[in-house]
């Protein structure tokens, strides 16, 4: 298995030397055909995602379509992103150009098996890099389909290879001389391991790790909008998202009203057949993940949290759960709750909200709901986060750089930053 993967990396290295020199217009034509596959076979790909990790079909369809949108974004903007940038200097001429590095290793997660791959693959392919992808073992159907999607017979060589490997072989792949960079989306322990190995071999790495984003609701917020958005932010994909609103912080003066409305909306989420397009909440990806969430909730209840709804597990299905009276010392506040569990903590004033938000080892992003937008904007520097969203949940959007600080990782994906991370930023000077 490992030998086969190493051979695939060598094949990609050979292909890279051809791919990188192809005109940008040719690379764009390849990506356009990839986009067309996504739009033509949306239901097939979505069904594979749902089968692999239990995501409700409607959400899987949205994921595939979002990948097509990302393709269109880069097809529209890549010429500008790759255009040499002139710099003022004492020389007759000086500018910076972006050149590819070679073969990249992408270690990808199961929670958004298409989207996470596409947001790495498309900008890097257009730059001229090629990709070896080690996907999560529980989304093998999606992983195989992804390789088919990126296969373009008109080229005669691969630009993308799926490496169906156990995690223990990742270090051997990173060590391969052809690998010039590695990106990982996953857990903090996995990130530390990959970063250590990449550093050992002097290879660039980008890490998109966990998050425990605060969702702050101020007393002057549009309560209806805040409640509706909070339910979506916390419960989509059964709560299995790094950017989910995991710690809901509500100002004391409106806490009762918010909690009542939020709890009712959570209770109303439609459960059922994961292949039914009307289903809103499904089982978690694996039973062990549901068991871990169950244990975290039980521990927090024993420590004084109040159960408003949910708290029951059947196999991999964990009922959407709301906990109130949550304190910063509780496990559900301190750790990342990767499941359909909303924890609600109250605050007195905005200073305390900032302190609670920053009381986390993670720093992926924060969402703040308030009608005093100018004030909140002025406070943005005080948040230890990679993103501040005002009157909106955290979203991974192709137009905007995405990534975190602290234990949420480093580096950025999407926007033009998604091109720069694995580029040779080359200075050219003319005397």
Cα–Cα distance for residue pair 322/344, rounded to 1 Å: 8
Instruction: Check if the beta carbon of residue 302 is closer than 8 Å to that of residue 318.
Output: no
Instruction: Check if the beta carbon of residue 342 is closer than 8 Å to that of residue 307.
Output: no
Cα–Cα distance for residue pair 193/262, rounded to 1 Å: 39
Active site residue 392: no
Instruction: Check if the beta carbon of residue 44 is closer than 8 Å to that of residue 61.
Output: no
The one catalytic residue in 208, 336, 413, 421 is 208
Cα–Cα distance for residue pair 274/284, rounded to 1 Å: 11
Instruction: Check if the beta carbon of residue 101 is closer than 8 Å to that of residue 425.
Output: no
What is the rounded end-to-end Cα distance, in angstroms, of the chain?
52
Q: How far is CA 149 from the centre of its chain?
A: 20
| Helices 42-53 and 140-150, axial angle in degrees (round to 10) | 150
Neighbour count for residue 276 (Cβ, 10 Å):
14
The one catalytic residue in 242, 336, 413, 421 is 242
Neighbour count for residue 32 (Cβ, 10 Å):
12
Name the residue among 425, 407, 423, 396 with its Cα closest to residue 119. Answer: 396
Name the residue among 164, 177, 304, 290 with its Cα closest to residue 239. Answer: 290
Cα–Cα distance for residue pair 207/190, rounded to 1 Å: 10
**What does the block give as tokens for 383?**
């948040």
Cα–Cα distance for residue pair 98/84, rounded to 1 Å: 7
Count the helix, strand and coil residues of the chain and give each as a percent rounded to the nearest 5: 45, 20, 35
Q: Which residues pair with 85 in a beta bridge?
A: 96
Active site residue 93: no
Residues belonging to the active site: 208, 242
């Amino acid at each position: 298995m490992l030998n086969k993967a190493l051979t695939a990396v060598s094949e990609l290295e050979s292909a890279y030397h051809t791919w990188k020199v192809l005109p940008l217009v040719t690379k764009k034509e390849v990506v356009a055909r990839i986009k067309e596959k996504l739009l033509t076979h949306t239901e097939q790909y979505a069904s594979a995602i749902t089968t692999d990790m239990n995501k409700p079909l409607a959400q899987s369809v949205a994921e595939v379509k979002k990948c097509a949108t990302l393709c269109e974004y880069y097809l529209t903007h890549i010429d500008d992103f790759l255009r040499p940038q002139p710099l003022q200097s004492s020389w007759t001429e000086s500018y910076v150009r972006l050149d590819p590095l070679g073969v990249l290793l992408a270690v990808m997660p199961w929670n958004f098996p298409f989207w996470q791959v596409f947001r790495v693959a498309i900008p890097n392919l257009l730059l001229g890099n090629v990709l070896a992808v080690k996907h999560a073992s529980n989304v093998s159907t999606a992983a195989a389909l992804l390789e088919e999607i990126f296969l373009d017979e008109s080229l005669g060589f691969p630009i993308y290879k799926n490496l169906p490997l156990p995690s223990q072989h990742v270090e051997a792949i990173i060590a391969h001389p052809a690998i010039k960079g590695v990106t990982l989306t996953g857990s903090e322990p996995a990130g530390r391991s990959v970063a250590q190995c990449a550093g050992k071999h002097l290879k660039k790495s980008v890490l998109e790790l966990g998050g425990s984003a605060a969702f702050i609701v101020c007393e002057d917020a549009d309560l209806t909008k805040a409640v509706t958005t909070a339910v979506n932010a916390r419960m989509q994909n059964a709560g299995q998202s790094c950017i989910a609103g995991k710690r809901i912080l509500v100002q004391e003066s409106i806490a009762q009203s918010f909690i009542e409305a939020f709890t009712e909306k959570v209770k109303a989420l439609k459960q059922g057949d994961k292949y039914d397009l009307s289903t809103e909440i499904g089982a978690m990806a694996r039973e062990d993940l549901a068991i871990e969430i169950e244990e975290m909730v039980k521990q927090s209840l024993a420590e004084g949290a109040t159960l408003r709804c949910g708290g029951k597990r059947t196999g991999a299905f964990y009922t959407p759960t709301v906990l109130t009276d949550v304190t910063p010392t509780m496990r559900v506040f301190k750790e990342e709750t990767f499941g359909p569990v909303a924890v609600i903590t109250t605050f007195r004033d905005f200073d305390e909200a900032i302190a609670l938000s920053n009381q986390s080892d993670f720093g992926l992003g924060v969402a703040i709901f308030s009608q005093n937008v100018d004030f909140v904007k002025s406070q943005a520097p005080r948040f230890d986060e990679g993103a501040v969203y005002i009157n909106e949940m955290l979203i991974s959007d192709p137009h905007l750089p995405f990534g975190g600080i602290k234990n949420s990782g480093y580096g950025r994906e999407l926007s033009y930053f998604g091109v720069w991370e694995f580029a040779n930023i080359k200075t050219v000077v003319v005397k």
